[in-house]
A and B are shown apart, each in its own frame.
Chain A
Amino acid sequence: MVLIFEKEVFKSMINDCKVKKPLEACGVIVGKCSGDKRMALRIYEATNILRSPIKYEIDPETLLRAFKESEEGGLKVLGFYHSHICREATPSPMDKEKACYKGYIYVIVSLDKDGVKAYVWDGESFEEEPIIVKS
């Protein structure tokens, strides 16, 4: 599959990660699937309740609101994003240990190194998925 971002949605996600520095940012990605495309139509900027530069946890209220509102709006939670401070956009050991949403997208934003990458958790490992940002 391929993850397609609306331009403004992608910009909002990057901006959230910049604003939250030096702490890891995190949030929920909502949209819909169509054939082999995941359309990222909205993000929910969350609070990193761990308030850490090296680990994150999405605040419950935002997570619940995202699930509830997406369902009500005929959309779905596609996955989640978080930032890596001074590290590559590659899943860390803790990312792998904590991953549990099989089939969902985990986007990692590395502002300082190699940009933005998306991965699907297949229950055992992360598989990278291409990202397209609509112009």
Chain B
Amino acid sequence: MKVKVKLVPGEKEVNVQFKKSKIRIMDILEDLGIDRETVLVLVHGELTPEEEYVTDGDEVEILQVISGG
């Protein structure tokens, strides 16, 4: 399975490939070494929980959250 991933900020795009056919968003984050707590994930522009499965060819956008103190 292949998924196109756009990272914000930076507008960098990566194609992530998996052997397994059933992939969840959390698997993508883990594969990219991204801490789930620090990002929002959109699939086709919609805010999507990390437990959700993605399908082949999906467009995923990973947005860093804005925080501080």
Contact = CB atoms under 8 A, between A and B. Distances in A.
Interface centre among B10, B40, B63, B65 (most CB of A within 10 A): B65
Nearest to B9: A101
B9 A57 contact: no
A65 B64 CA distance: 14
Interface in B20-69: 38, 40, 42, 45, 47, 63-69
B8 interface: yes
A54 B65 contact: no
Given A100-B9, A102-B9, A104-B9, A64 B69 contact: no
Interface residues of B, number: 15
A50 interface: yes
A55 B68 CA distance: 6
Contact of B40 (A63, A68, A93, A101): A63
A57 B65 contact: yes
A94 B69 contact: yes
Contact of A64 (B9, B10, B38, B47): B47
Interface of B: 8-10, 38, 40, 42, 45, 47, 63-69
25 contacts: A24-B69, A26-B66, A28-B66, A54-B69, A55-B68, A55-B69, A56-B68, A57-B65, A57-B66, A58-B65, A58-B67, A60-B40, A60-B47, A63-B63, A63-B65, A64-B63, A68-B45, A91-B68, A94-B68, A94-B69, A95-B68, A98-B66, A98-B69, A100-B64, A102-B10
